[in-house]
Amino acid sequence: MTTFEHPTATNPPERAPHGDGWRLFRGDGERRDVDFPDAPPWRRFDRPASQTGAKVPYPRPYLIGPDEADVVNAALHLRRPLLVTGQPGTGKSSLAHAIAHELGLGRVLQWPVNSRSTLQDALYQYDAVGRLREATLPRDGDGTEPDIGQYIQLGPLGNALVHRERPRVLLVDELDKGDVDLPNDLLTVFEEGEFVIPELARLPRDHAPVHVQTDDPDRPAPVERGHVRCAEFPVVIITSNGEREFPPAFLRRCIRLDLPEPDERRLRDIVAAHLGDTALDEVDDLLETFLERRAAGELATDQLLNAVFLRKGGVNLDAGALLQAVLHRLGGAV
């Protein structure tokens, strides 16, 4: 069995020279320090923090046709959720970030839905066990009990409904993966724009507003008598991959937007927006291969961006195995 020794002061690891090809990993078992190249723009995480401590998102280039943009505007004017459907990679989730960026609405609140997601978790969570534990500990010098607001954390939907002059953007991602009753559970909240936190509603009438925790660091939200009600309905973007149908009552309250797969001209515009105009040089073969494979099965636009990024970095994508790994089909068994 082969063993690998850790480097020591007398046996430092080999250092790969800068620009020594694109192969960071060589599979030869030799230890070496490497200089990592710049990541693709869409895979960078060294985002600066805002004054509130929240991460500031990178502006994401996003291209959409005028007809689709008009549907988005209709949802904004009507204050209705926008139900976005389309094939994987057509930009359903990215649309929420594009709207937030263009309209200056701050960081997107995200609710990734799965089979265990509930309306309760999306609205708020109450740490009853933590509050009970604190209640049994010795009091501070003045004998005061910790405020109940310290044990209530608003979820993404609850945070979106906090009273504000300008709305927040809420991304409800892949609602079709949730429980079959979840769309119906959302109807009342979306229709009324409010919800109640029973733990706070039971407090005495003369109790001061309680400041509950949000996912915005150091920015608790005041809640009076347990009622959270929005001043402006949030910009709600709901995505679906079409894995199942939604009830008519839910669909009636949404504006529908089906994002088409981008054609060759739009693909070229997307590549240029993310990687610059020079990225379009000598990529005709990649575009042709991408369109051929997309016609035969599911492919996502970001797979094309991955291929162009590697080509731009000097990687030979003519090798069948590597190109197949980058432009692999999304449907079917793996």
b vs e for 266-280, b when ≥16 Cβ sit within 10 Å of the residue's Cβ? ebbebbbebbeeebb
Using alpha carbons, list the distances in angstroms from residue 255 to 74, 81, 84, 239.
8, 6, 8, 12
Please give the full DSSP string across 59-89, using - where no structure is assigned: P------HHHHHHHHHHHHHT--EEEE-STT
Question: What is the predicted pLDDT for the residue at 97?
Answer: 92
pLDDT digits 0-9 by tens, 312-323: 888 877 656 778
Terminal Cα distance for the chain, rounded: 31
DSSP letter at 315?
A: -
| 25, amino acid identity | F
DSSP letter at 247?
A: -
| 87, amino acid identity | Q
pLDDT digits 0-9 by tens, 199-231: 999 888 888 899 998 877 668 899 998 999 999
- Say if residues 259 and 65 touch (Cβ distance below 8 Å): no
Copy the structure tokens of residue 22.
Answer: 């694109």
Residues forming a β-bridge with 237:
82, 171
Please give the full DSSP string across 118-146, using - where no structure is assigned: -HHHHHEEE-HHHHHHHHHSPP-TT-PPP
Do the strands 109-112 and 169-173 form a parallel or antiparallel pair, or are they unpaired? parallel
pLDDT digits 0-9 by tens, 231-264: 999 999 999 988 889 999 999 999 999 998 888 9
Q: What is the spatial distance between Cα 264 and Cα 231, in angstroms, rounded to a whole number?
A: 43
